[in-house]
Amino acid sequence: MKNIYTLLSILIISLTVYFSFDDLMPSSVKSIETTGFSVDNALNHLKVISKEPHYTGSKYHQDVQNYIVNELESMGLATEIQNQVVLNSWRVGTNAANIIATMKGSGEGKSLVLLSHYDSRVHSSFGASDAGSGVVTILEGIRAFLSKNENPVNDIHVVFTDAEEIGLLGAEAFVKYHKFIDNVGLVLNFEARGSGGPSYMLMETNGMNSKLISEFAYANPNFPAANSLMYSIYKMLPNDTDLTVFREKANINGFNFAFIGDHFDYHTSLDTYERLDRNTLFHQADYFMTMINHFSKIDLSNLESDVDYVYSNFPFLKLIYFSNSWIFPLLIFAVIFFLVLVYLGLALNKLKLEGIYSGTIPFIISLFVCVSLTILLWNFIVYLNPEYKDILHGFTYNGYYYIFGFIFLNLFCLLLIYKPFFNKNAGLDLIIFPLLFWIIINVLIGFFLKGAAYFIIPVYFVLFSLLVSFLVNLKSDKLIILWTCLSVPLIYMFAPQLKMFPVGLGLKNIFISSIFIILVFSLLLPIFSNYSFKKHLTNLTGTVSLLLFFMAFLNNGFDSENNKPNSIVYYSDLDENESFWMSYDHNLDDFTKQFLGDNPSTDVDKFVNRSKYSTSYRYINKTDFKDIPYSLVDVLSDSVYGNKRKVSISIIPQRKVNTFEIRTEGPFVFDYLAVQDIPHENKNSKISISSGRILTYVPSYNDEKVIIDMIFDKKLSPKFSLVETSFDLMTNSIFNFKPRSNIMMPMPFVTNDAIILSKNISL
């Protein structure tokens, strides 16, 4: 019988893991058919929008804009283009072209904004997921909503922002300058940071979240994927969305719905119509239809609260949440409950002090061995595969094999470490110290990371399991089933997080999954200690781990489906009449070697151009100087009043330029800095630049020239340079080189496939 109970326990655990993932997102279109949302319509939109890269200022960008406007107007919505020059706090600016459509409501309350951005990432991304998926979800969702002939109570504004990818500029233009902003009560933002997987709900609020969580639950999405820890981590990362601007600049609450799976496609030329996970699109559609049906009708002026909720996915209930005010009462009661149970267990001879003490040893060993092994092995894998360093977002194409390979490797190590202790000690004894460790973690969470306070829930299930085990005289086989059933919430809540963290944060953080595995495994010790074939289970986990690492090895190369990223730029110093080929790559290939040779120089210190991931140029090779038209720079005015000097310059491009950048060699202080008559707003009275970039401007098709105004102390001696960048290296007829093979793609996140011209500005 014990063998049967062991197999039944493994089956329950396996099914719980399966459903913990399956419940996060729909697996077919049937889940949204009843809403009237047509996936085929959405995909038809996406095919047009993602036909070509459409970054701000590109040719296809305006084609996408025209297509979206036509679709909105065909639905009878009043539509406008908000053309607005904006300069953000990072001194990045453009003439943003937001698309705004309005559906009038029957009431006079706060309005609802449906938000996504329609620009793709510079310069090679097709933008199917980021954020074409958001655009088509809203387009088709609005059509489905209108088809029901139900008038909303609240005004609904569809806002497709421009220039999100270069600094959230479209959102800033809307928040700062559009009249609708004064009456906005809530924003629903649809985003992507990959091309698949479940879409997670992440809130943006300056206040407390209880009403937002309650209303989200009342909206009743069929597949809510959310926990409060994700947003706590999200706030720590440099990955803001348009919604952040609404929160920071206008104190408006909102929800992000964003997916992060298949992160290797993010911002690359692989972000295409074909690679977008259809189930992920279904998930976005489910969120949209449930949210618009709910938030178009309720009072949006009453979403502020003075209470924060902790929340998490939970089996059968979809979402469980409780007030932050419960955190310390739950902790205090858990400590008391724990101490009482330890006393009761010793008194009833269900626990032994020697066994409790023995339980500390394998747990501490497990933490050290599993985490250390995971970190060392991953670093060794990267050492053996130096090409991983050129995958800047840190998630390889075979990353899922690595994740599950490490999961099973850690399980194998845990079973090996605990094997001698299972032979000498009862599982109830062994769990006491890990349970104490969980309680200590929850105390720290209560003080420093309240978003993770749902960690207390598994503690209570374990405490209750201990109580039942002490009071009811169960044989080991019955104990297996009892503990397995009561562990379902623990497994359901934490299994998806083993995958989520290394996908979202990169494989270098896979040790986080190791910590989670140890914590979860430690609360399942009464199950594993009583299994009848522990040796076979240990061998199985080891074998599966080896198989997964072998599969990672087999899928390690690059091919036409999984491209190798590489980079090249042509840089000309017009003052010195010198030109160079430069690359960010760690590992040169046949494509980059034709520019850089086999032994290029690494003397690139003066050519600083760091990316989001702190990547700078690595290789340089001098080449022939090409006569490429450079922008005309004129001093429009230059005057002195008092001890200040005011200068106005115009820049007129002589070719298609995608980015202008003003730089300084040394420190410089401005009293005033403006582009296209839009001043930079600074908290301090002066704008201090230590060195490097002063200002970046991305010209749109509405910009015939760029005007920059500046005021500074007349005693200062300006030493500025103008750096202009165009993304036409691959198509410029003055160059002749072999194109990338079909297994290569432009490296994302860096300036790439670009012609860069630099020249000093004389003032």
The answer to whether the CB of 225 falls within 8 A of the CB of 25 is yes
Integer CA distances (angstroms), 534 to 246, 422, 488, 542, in order: 54, 9, 21, 12
All structural domains of the chain, each given as residue ranges with its CATH number in brackets, are: 2-20+324-554 (no CATH), 27-314 (3.40.630.10), 564-763 (no CATH)
Q: CB atoms < 10 A from the CB of 299, how many?
A: 12
Q: What is the DSSP letter of 99?
A: E
The stretch 106-113 carries a mean pLDDT of 96
pLDDT digits (tens, 9 = 90+) for 543-579: 999 999 999 999 999 999 999 999 999 999 999 999 9
Greatest alpha-carbon span in the chain: 96
Strand extents, DSSP E, 57-106:
78-87, 92-103
**Distance between CA atoms of 561 and 726, rounded to whole angstroms?**
28
Contact in structure between 134 and 191 (CB atoms under 8 Å): yes
| Alpha-carbon span 236 to 694, nearest angstrom | 26
Pairing of strands 184-192, 111-117: parallel
Cα distances from 707 to residues 95, 108, 314, 576, 649, in angstroms, run 12, 42, 56, 26, 6
- Tell me the per-residue pLDDT of 363-393, one tens digit each, with 9 for 90 and over: 999 999 999 999 999 999 999 999 999 999 8
Helical ranges in 182-308 per DSSP H? 210-219, 228-234, 242-250, 278-295
Distance of CA 449 to the CA centre of its chain: 20
pLDDT tens across 506-540, in order?
999 999 999 999 999 999 999 999 999 899 999 99
- Asked, as a colleague might, if the bond just before 131 is cis with ω within 30 of 0, I would say yes
pLDDT at 614: 67
- CA–CA separation, 479 and 531 (whole Å): 10
Average pLDDT over residues 260-264: 96
CB 518 within 8 A of CB 374: no
pLDDT given at position 470: 92
Helix (H, G, I), strand (E, B) or coil at 607: coil
Taking the mean position of all CA atoms in its chain, how far away is CA 346? 48
For the cut 80, the answer to whether the pLDDT of residue 728 exceeds it is yes
Note whether 364 and 476 are within 8 A (CB): no
Q: Where is average pLDDT lowest: 220-234, 450-464, 586-600?
A: 220-234
Mean pLDDT across 59-76: 97
Q: Are 87 and 130 in contact (CB under 8 A)?
A: no
- Mean pLDDT (whole number) for 706-730: 95
Which residue, 88, 150, 9, is CA-closest to 487? 9
